[in-house]
Every structure is written in C-alpha cells, then in structure tokens.
Structure 1
Amino acid sequence: MRALIKSLVMLVCIVLPVTGFAADGMITLKSNHSVSATADRLETLLKKKGMTVFTRVSHSAGAAGVGLQLRPTELVIFGNPKVGTPLMQCVQSVAIDLPQKALIWEDESGQVWLGYNDPAYLQQRHDIEGCDAALEKVSGALENFAIAATE
C-alpha cells in the first residue's frame, strides 16, 4: 500500500509541473516563451497545418484601453470546418464551443501557460455520441499544437 501511495505521489510531482491547475475541462501546459511569443508560435503552426486563425484577442490590451491592468493574456481563435462540422453534425450544441480557442496567459509568478478545452469535456458537456474518431482527431491535433507552441 505504501508503495502505491509513493508511486502516486511521484506521478503527481511529475505531472503537475507540466499541466498545472486549471478550470474544469481545460488542459494546460507550461510555456517556455512569453505570452506573445507563445501565441505567435501557435498561430504560425496552425496556419502551416491549414487551420484558419479567425482572430487573436489581447485581453490585457483591452483592459489597458479602459484604464485597468491585467497580466499578459491572449486568446487565439482558430478552426477547420472539415473537423468542426462533423462534431456539429453529431450534436449541434457543440457549436457554442467552436471554433477552438487557446488561452495563453502569464500567472502571478511570471510563468506562462497555454490552455485549451479538453475534447473529452466537450464530449461530456454536449453528450456527444458516435463521433469518437472526430474527437480523437481534435484531441491529438490540439495536443500537438500546444506542445509545439510551448516548447
């Protein structure tokens, strides 16, 4: 029993620095770059893979525009109708969570994070059935983009 507990503690110690804590249904990764550089890297990767980058929102610039301060925080909104449409054909309500979004922010200690919606969370949220192949494709692509943008 002690060996099992020790193994679980070690696993948590290994995984937490990579994924961090986030809101339910959100996958997060530490970035080795600034918020701006991480967003630039992500945008470049997405475009190289034929994804459409719809917009990039600087929440910190928006805050500054009304005289408020916010640590660097950017949102990249992107997608591909070839992937998103089959999900919407399964359950149309998933459209509220599409196109995909990646949030890049700097926390209070200066660490930069990249987070995105976990497709498994979307599957549960919208009770998606029969779209496992599309969800797996989305999951793999998001993970690959996030890793490449943050390393």
Structure 2
Amino acid sequence: MKIISIVISLLLSSVTWAADEKATDGIVTLKSDYSVEETADRFESIIQKKGLTLFNRIDHAKNAEVAGHTLRPTQLLIFGNPKVGTPLMQCSQSIAIDLPQKVLIYKDESNQVRLSYNDPSYLKQRHQLKGCDAVIKKISKVLAALSANAVKKN
C-alpha cells in the first residue's frame, strides 16, 4: 500500500510539474467566448481605442488556402506603441526581434478559440533586460487587460 501511495504521489507531482512547465513556456493563453474573427475584431477595436497602432493583421488560414492547404482559423495581429517599445530597446536592442507586440488568435484542435501572446516577463528574461522593470510591469498589465476584454463576454 505504501508503495502505491508513493507511486501515485510521484505521478501527481509529475503532472503538476508538466502543467507548470507548460504555463511557464513564455506564452500567455486565454480562452475566448467568440470566434477567431470576432476575437480579432474585438482586439483590434480595443487597441485602436487605446491609441495603439495596428501594424498588420495576418490571416494564416486564408494564406494557407491560397497555397492549397487547409488550416483551422488562425490570425495574428501585430501592434504596438513606440513610446513603450523604444525604452525596452534602449535596455536591450535584441528585444526588437520580438517587437512590435503580437497576439495570436486561433481555433485549436478541440474547436476552442484561444488568444495567446508572449509573456513580457519571459521577454525580460530572454533579452536580459536591466532597468526596465516598470515598463515590463506596465506592458504585462496592459496586455492582460486588452486580452481579457477581447475574449470575454460582458
């Protein structure tokens, strides 16, 4: 009996570790109550109202279709604000490879629509940013709020 308890404990801790590992992969993902198109439209509208610039909106599924392939609905929105991004690049220019910000909105294999974005804390670590904690904190809050508003029905 004691061996069974130990094995169960080990299995449960492995599951917890695997879930934590997935949660810390540098990507924040939320479930959406809307279709991919509606979620993307909502996100675009929200960022424009907040004075952010939408640089591009890429419909990967449409591009796949043009190439003769199929892909579940998948859209990428590229957006930002140089007033916020420039200070990050002043801390470490390599972060420019991850800017402007992006959100990926897609329908997964279980037909759940999801919105994902790079966790700013991960970007801080990835680019070894020093002296940008306040900016990273602000971006984290803004991305969380924008995303939450885009995916949830009131």
User: What's the TM-score once normalised by structure 1's chain length?
Assistant: 0.85
Q: Which has the larger radius of gyration?
A: 2
> Unpaired runs of 5+ in structure 1?
none
Tell me how far 1:109 sits from its aligned partner. Answer: 1.2
| Post-superposition offset of 1:24 | 1.7
**Aligned to 1:37, what secondary structure does the other structure show?**
helix
Unaligned runs of 5+ in 2: 1-8
Match in the other structure for 2:76: 75
Give the corresponding residue for 1:57.
Answer: 58
> Residue 66 of structure 1 corresponds to which residue in structure 2?
67
Residue type of the alignment partner of 1:96:
I
Q: Give 3-state SS (helix, strand or coil) of 1:104's partner.
A: strand
Query: In 2, Cα distance between the equivalents of 1:138 and 1:84?
Result: 9
Cα shift at 1:22: 6.7
Whether 2:133 is the aligned partner of 1:132: answer: yes
Percent identity of paired positions between Structure 1 and Structure 2 = 56
Match of 2:146 in 1: 145
From the superposition, tell whether residues 45 and 71 of structure 1 become closer, same or farther in structure 2 (CA, over 3 Å).
same
Shift in Å, 1:113: 0.2
For 1:108 and 1:23, locate their aligned partners in 2 and report how far apart those are by CA, in whole Å. Answer: 21
Cα distance in 2 between the residues matched to 1:128 and 1:77: 22
Instruction: Please tell me the residue identity of whatever aligns with 1:45.
Output: I
Q: Which residue of 2 is the match for residue 34 of structure 1? A: 35
Change in CA separation of 1:22 and 1:71 when aligned onto 2, cut-off 3 Å: farther
Q: How many residues align?
A: 136
Distance of 1:28 and 1:59 partners within structure 2:
18
Q: Which amino acid aligns with 1:88?
A: M
Q: Any idea what SS the aligned residue of 1:94 has?
A: helix
TM alignment of 1:67-106, pairs within 5 A: 67-106=68-107
Following TM superposition, by how much is the alpha carbon of 1:118 offset from its aligned partner in structure 2, in angstroms?
A: 0.2
Q: Could you list the runs of 4 or more consecutive aligned residues of structure 1 that deviate by over 2 angstroms after TM superposition? A: none
- Aligned-partner Cα distance in 1 for 2:25–2:68: 31
User: Structure 1: which amino acid aligns with 2:123?
Assistant: L
Amino acid across the alignment from 1:118: D
Query: What code does the residue aligned with 1:42 have?
Result: F
Q: What is the one-letter code of the residue matched to 2:113?
A: V
Query: CA offset at residue 132 of structure 1?
Result: 0.5
SS in 1 for 2:134: helix
